[in-house]
Structure 1
């Protein structure tokens, strides 16, 4: 949850591929689905490895499901849009956050095979959000002014922050 130092630490590159990594990805999917999220980074469950999972629609309602190990946001483009953004580490809260409406992430699969994921719209927002997590950033770190003050006040009053 917000305030846990693990969320503000950059994650470590994965160097060991095998059953333990597969179990982490499986756990991330189960946790994301249980929380009704669209993406989840490993550090959100206390694991310092650079891994995230997603099950997220784009703006045309096309569903994208997968995982990326050692992801890097390699390209953003299109328009910069401010839209509502939430996070499983700040349950029930959201704030208008600026993101590009196109994003490309490169990394590898559980087997170490190269993967390139291109997203538009809401899915591009998700990809950028999850990459931020692995770099030690939360969406509230990108929010400024009254939006930031409001969401931090709400977080301080939230039952999970106690």
Structure 2
């Protein structure tokens, strides 16, 4: 499979709402495998298709612990249909915002309706790290980044830092 480049802020594609996947076919399966390889190589625990410059409603997750067998999960056209009133806080990071971490509060449990890699409709009930990861990655599909859940001042500092770095990489 292929390791794909991961786009980072301030790339405007990260702010676009991803379009639904219309069919599960061999091209999509190939993209899923590439995304899993990319996520494991990064290393990360979740990756939305938009992060590899494919604005489609597709994400992959693996929250297995180091030393455990891999447990890749695929979510096509995921939609949160239920979330708890209870909240939890996790320190989040993002492959599209390298080396920056912040505590984010989100619903503690979610139920997600989606298609699996075979195109079969599924309902996934998640709590803990999986619930947080699902919400983080689904946010990506909606053009939302985890830094949108932190204070405006901290968010602006992060965006400024990455925008400055991006400008310094541009050669004239």
Same fold? TM cut 0.5: yes
Query: Deviation at 1:69?
Result: 0.5
Which of 4, 20, 29 is matched with 2:11 structurally?
A: 4
Structure 1: 5+ residue runs without aligned partners?
Answer: none
Which segment is superposed worse, 34-43 or 146-155?
146-155
Q: Residue 131 of structure 1: SS of its match in structure 2?
A: helix
1: CA distance, partners of 2:140 / 2:48: 6
- Correspondence for 2:116: 109
1: CA distance, partners of 2:87 / 2:11: 29
2: CA distance, partners of 1:154 / 1:83: 23
Pairwise CA RMSD? 2.5
Question: So what's the TM-score if we normalise by structure 1?
Answer: 0.87
- Correspondence for 2:3: none
Query: Deviation at 1:64?
Result: 5.1
Which of 149, 157, 169 is matched with 1:142 structurally?
A: 149
Which segment is superposed worse, 2-11 or 138-147?
138-147
**Correspondence 1:77 to 2:84:** yes
1: CA distance, partners of 2:89 / 2:159: 18
Structure 2: 5+ residue runs without aligned partners?
Answer: 1-7
2: CA distance, partners of 1:28 / 1:46: 11
Q: Residue 50 of structure 2: SS of its match in structure 1?
A: helix
Per-residue CA distance 1:114-147 (angstroms, 9 max, x = gap):
0112211111100100100001111011212444
- Correspondence for 2:93: 86
Question: So what's the TM-score if we normalise by structure 2?
Answer: 0.82
2: CA distance, partners of 1:161 / 1:27: 30
- Correspondence for 1:41: 48
Bigger radius of gyration among the two: 2
Which of 116, 119, 123 is matched with 2:126 structurally?
A: 119
Decide whether the 8 Å contact of 1:96 with 1:147 is kept in 2: no
1: CA distance, partners of 2:160 / 2:52: 24
